[in-house]
Amino acid sequence: MVHPDRRSAVPASTTEGLEHHSPTHRRVRIGASAALAALVILGATGLLGPTTGSTSASAGTWALHVQHPSVTRPGQPAPLVVRVVAADGFDGPVRLALDTAMFERMDFQGWFPTPSKETAEADRVVYEFDPPTGDELRVTLDARTAPGQLFSRTSYDVSLLVPPAPEVTARFTVWTLP
């Protein structure tokens, strides 16, 4: 049995006596909840990656098409597909140059087809491929975004070097999210 004096000391509500938060605290809580909800929605719709994009460039009878990662995360697949189209066919080897920055931010697993030659230049690596039959060379580079990458927005170049034709360069941007 409860003593009559102690019954009056029990609060009528479980929130009685709690401090009320200031309007600033409420705004911070609402803002943080909204930011978290936005991240969940962006993630659920696939806007946080990984996604791919494509770009093209041409000069004369040459066309360069690059399918690339546009949004990626560390450890995620980031394949690169390069198509070279020569309206008149190929007379000799096809040389493709890639930014060295790509090698710093991606782990390359392998090429298909395998290049017949590789040469390093100051700010790019040049790969030489045997001429294909027909008027199109399709090169696939199996790659992953390197682990430990922080948030970044990086632009890369892929160039087609077929002298005496002018260099054809396709530029693209990759967003890396943590």
CATH number at residue 154: 2.60.40.1290
User: pTM (2 decimals)?
Assistant: 0.74
pLDDT band at 148 (very low <50, low <70, confident <90, very high): confident
Mean pLDDT value of segment 83-102: 91
Residue-number span of the structural domain to which 96 is assigned: 51-176
Q: pLDDT tens digits for 1-26?
A: 555 555 556 667 776 666 666 778 78
3-state DSSP call for residue 176? Answer: strand
Q: Are residues 44 and 61 in the same domain?
A: no
Phi first, then psi: give them for residue 90, nearest 5 degrees: -110, 130
The confidence score (pLDDT) of residue 2 equals 54
Q: Give the distance from CA 43 to its chain's centroid.
A: 15
Going by C-alpha positions, the residue among 82, 108, 86, 107 that lies closest to residue 96 is 82
The confidence score (pLDDT) of residue 18 equals 63
- Domain count along the chain: 2
Q: Are residues 132 and 68 in the same domain?
A: yes
Q: Are residues 73 and 115 in the same domain?
A: yes
E-only strand ranges, the chain: 51-59, 62-72, 80-86, 94-99, 106-112, 117-120, 124-129, 136-145, 152-161, 168-176
Q: pLDDT tens digits for 104-117?
A: 888 888 889 999 99
12 in a domain, yes or no? no
Q: Are residues 83 and 132 in the same domain?
A: yes
3-state DSSP call for residue 54? Answer: strand
Going by C-alpha positions, the residue among 137, 143, 173 that lies closest to residue 157 is 173
Q: Are residues 30 and 56 in the same domain?
A: no
5 in a domain, yes or no? no
Tell how strand 62-72 and strand 117-120 pair up: unpaired
Q: Are residues 25 and 97 in the same domain?
A: no
Q: Give the distance from CA 154 to its chain's centroid.
A: 9
94 in a domain, yes or no? yes
Q: Is the pLDDT confidence value at 132 over 60? A: yes
46 sits in the region (left: phi over 0; alpha: psi -120 to 50; else beta) called left
Mean of the per-residue pLDDT values of the chain: 85
Residues in Cβ contact with 175 at an 8 Å cutoff, skipping those fewer than 6 apart: 49, 70, 71, 72, 152, 153
Q: Are residues 36 and 116 in the same domain?
A: no
